[in-house]
Amino acid sequence: MPHVRDIPTLTEKKLLSLEKKANLIRQDLLQMLETAGSGHSAGPLGLADIFTALYFHVLDHDPKKPMWKDRDRLLLSCGHVAPIRYATMAHAGYFPKSELKTLRKFGSKLQGHPEYLMMPALESTSGPLGDGSPQSAGMAYIGKKEGAPWHVYCIMSDGELEAGITWEAAMFAGKHALHNLTWIIDRNNIQIDGYTEDIMPLEPLRDKFEAFNFEVVEIDGHNIREFVDACEYSKSVWERPVVIIAHTIPGRGVDFMEFDFKWHGVPPGSGPEDKYKKPNQLNEALKELRTLGGKIESESE
The CATH number for 76's domain is: 3.40.50.970
Question: Is the CB of residue 126 less than 8 Å from the CB of residue 58?
Answer: no
- Please, is 272 exposed, middle or buried when counting C-beta atoms within 10 Å of its C-beta (0-12, 13-18, 19+)? middle
Q: How far apart are CA 52 and CA 224, in angstroms?
A: 9
Residue 189 lies in a domain: yes
**Calpha distance 187→244 (Å, rounded):** 10
For residue 294, give every residue at least 6 positions away whose Cβ sits within 8 Å of its Cβ, in sequence order, or none: 288
How many independent structural domains does the chain possess?
1
Please report whether residue 207 resides in a domain: yes
| Residue of 200, 181, 180, 182 lying closest to 190 (CA atoms) | 200
pTM (two decimals): 0.95
Nearest to 5 by CA among 240, 243, 184, 236: 236
Position 89 scores a pLDDT of 98
DSSP string, 154-174: EEEESGGGGSHHHHHHHHHHH
Q: Is residue 252 one of the residues assigned to a domain?
A: yes
Report helix, strand or coil for 289: helix
Report which DSSP code applies to 107.
Answer: T
Per-residue pLDDT, 194: 86
Q: Residue 187 belongs to what domain range? A: 12-290
The per-residue pLDDT for 295 is 66
Neighbours of 182 (CB within 10 A): 28
Q: Are 269 and 34 in contact (CB under 8 A)?
A: yes
Of 124, 10, 16, which is closest to residue 75 (Cα–Cα)?
124
Cβ count near 237 (within 10 Å): 16
Q: Kindly state the helix (H) or strand (E) to which residue 12 belongs, with its residue range.
A: helix 12-36
| Per-residue confidence (pLDDT) for residue 187, from 0 to 100 | 98
Q: For position 301, what pLDDT does the model report?
A: 40
301 part of a folded domain: no
Q: Please report the pLDDT score of residue 297 as a whole number.
A: 61
Evaluate the omega torsion of the peptide bond into residue 241 and state whether it is cis, within 30 degrees of 0.
no
Q: What CA–CA distance (Å, rounded) separates 217 from 272?
A: 35
- Mind listing the pLDDT tens digit of every residue in the chain (301 residues)? 556 789 999 999 999 999 999 999 999 999 999 999 999 999 999 999 999 999 999 999 999 999 999 999 999 999 999 999 999 999 999 999 999 999 999 999 999 899 988 888 899 988 788 899 999 999 999 999 999 999 999 999 999 999 999 999 999 999 999 999 999 999 999 888 888 999 999 999 999 999 999 999 999 999 999 999 999 999 999 999 999 999 999 999 999 999 988 998 899 999 999 999 999 999 999 999 998 776 666 544 4
Look at residue 5 and tell me if it is in a domain: no
Q: How many CB atoms lie within 10 A of CB 56?
A: 18
Task: Report d(CA 288, CA 275) in Å as an integer.
Answer: 14
Establish if 2 belongs to a structural domain: no
At residue 174's C-alpha, the angle toward residues 169 and 175, to 5°, is 100
Q: Is residue 144 in a domain?
A: yes
Examine residue 261 and state whether it is found in any structural domain, yes or no: yes
